Copies of this chain bind each other. A is one copy, B any other.
Amino acid sequence: MAPPQTNPANEDLADVVRLIERMRNGERRAISHAVTELERLSAAAPALLQAMQPHLGHALVVGFTGSPGAGKSTLVNAYTRYVRSQSKTVGIIAVDPSSPVSGGAILGDRIRMTATLDDDGVFMRSLASRGHLGGLSPAAVRVIDALDAAGKDIVLIETVGTGQSEIDVAEVADVRVLVTAPGLGDDIQAMKAGLIEIADILVVNKADREGADRSVRDLQMMQGLAAEHGDWVAPILKTVGAKGEGIAELAEAADRHLAWLRESGELQARRRAHLRLRVETILKERVVREADQVLGLDREVERGFASRTDPYRVADRLFEGVVRREAEERRT
């Protein structure tokens, strides 16, 4: 990662606008800089987010979820090569689960995307999902915006398949691809029935392996049991990511789904729901942060613990403290 060239806390609006121009020219260092600022929610981030607004909404966001072992990384790599061959630019966000205790990445030094690292039309960032165990953090969502504002035609998100991350990806992706592979076991059928409901495209990867047709039949059966959403029926595709087989069909299905989203009004509905989710998350983070600043969360929890106060009363006291300080600030 290139070191930041400027201190964005001191940048005025003109500097932010210049940064966005450089991002949109495809300058890797500018994108990397902006992504880092947004990931960390630095002092420069609010101005950057505001200035990025007019440039958002261009990218097609495709989310890849599914069990470990389904070959998602290889599939994302093959998908990237395919859309690059059509001269589209790509941003990739790989979300790795991190250990809740040690904080270290569980998957370790997974080698990724070697085929695309020297291509300026591809920008990739790996994020740890601290505390989210594979889920999408608010930081990841801001990074999607940065890649969108940078003018990438397609943003691919790859997460490790825990139940929660699939739900999170469903909130932000325009196209939700659920990836499985032959022989991953039927024990997770119960889980999948719920996940199938939120998938737009179902993929059996490693389809050159024995059992691929059975996996397709299993998916068809589970799809029959699941509730439909709208009049889109998720196609079931076979791919071999490692050989690039079935990728053109996958990209074509994604384009068809985007067209359906636009025509049905579902695209607007999804993006509106996503804005609502983000606003709620920001509100929640803010009230906890202010409560901590005003009264100290640890101190109040300690008091409540010692006096056996129920959590609702402890929360009441903290909320009161936040309101009082905010009201005082307005008076002065």
Residue of B nearest to A287 (CB): B287
Contact call A297/B311, Cβ cutoff below 8 A? no
Among A212-220, A255-263, A275-283, which stretch is in contact with chain B?
A: A275-283
A3 at the interface (CB under 8 A from B): no
Interface residues of A in 103-147 (CB under 8 A from B): 104, 106-107, 131, 133-135
User: Which of chain B's residues have a CB closer than 8 A to the CB of A318?
Assistant: 279, 283
Contact call A187/B69, Cβ cutoff below 8 A? yes
User: Which of chain B's residues have a CB closer than 8 A to the CB of A313?
Assistant: 50
Contact call B160/A102, Cβ cutoff below 8 A? no
4 A-B pairs besides A101-B197, A326-B327 with CB distance below 8 A are A49-B311, A99-B193, A135-B164, A323-B326
Q: A68-B190, A304-B275, A315-B286 are in contact. Are A133 and B164 (CB under 8 A)?
A: yes
In the A-B complex, the 6 residue pairs with the closest CB atoms: A162-B163, A69-B187, A327-B327, A102-B227, A284-B284, A164-B164
CB distance from A54 to the nearest CB of B (A): 7
User: Which of chain B's residues have a CB closer than 8 A to the CB of A314?
Assistant: 275, 279
CB distance from A313 to the nearest CB of B (A): 7
Q: A46-B312, A49-B310 are in contact. Are A276 and B301 (CB under 8 A)?
A: yes
User: Which of chain B's residues have a CB closer than 8 A to the CB of A252?
Assistant: none
Contact call A279/B305, Cβ cutoff below 8 A? no
A309 at the interface (CB under 8 A from B): yes
